[in-house]
Amino acid sequence: MDIRPFNAAQSYASARPATQPDPDHAASGLRATFTDFAATLRQGEQIAQSAMVGQADPHALVQALAQTELAVETAVIVRNKVVEAYQEILRMPV
């Protein structure tokens, strides 16, 4: 088998587009996550308002509040991890 640097570089160059991230895909995934989070909060708020006037089932209210609490806790955990990563980057020597 004949392996030359030029052939290796050429093979690497042809394979490189497959390894590069797709910014559109990452942005759409993050956008969908934020949209789902906002929808969960809106749904919980609507059910809470309906429960205040007696139009919603108490079981549905408890379930919506639990979902909202889980979504907010997840967002806080993600925020904390992002802040920790940022602080770690700031501590790196230049």
Which domain, by its residues, includes 51? 24-91
Q: Residue 15's pLDDT is what? A: 66
Domain annotation covers residue 37 = yes
- pLDDT exceeds cutoff 70 at 27: no
Domain annotation covers residue 57 = yes
Region 86-90 average pLDDT: 95
User: What band does 4 get if pLDDT is binned at 50, 70 and 90?
Assistant: low
pTM (predicted TM-score): 0.63
Q: Residue 6's pLDDT is what? A: 65
- pLDDT exceeds cutoff 60 at 75: yes
What would the two tokens of residue 61 be?
A: 């209210």
Domain annotation covers residue 16 = no
List b or e across 60-71, with b for residues whose CB sees 16 or more CB atoms inside 10 angstroms: ebeebeeebeeb
Domain annotation covers residue 58 = yes
The total number of structural domains in the chain stands at 1
Region 8-24 average pLDDT: 64
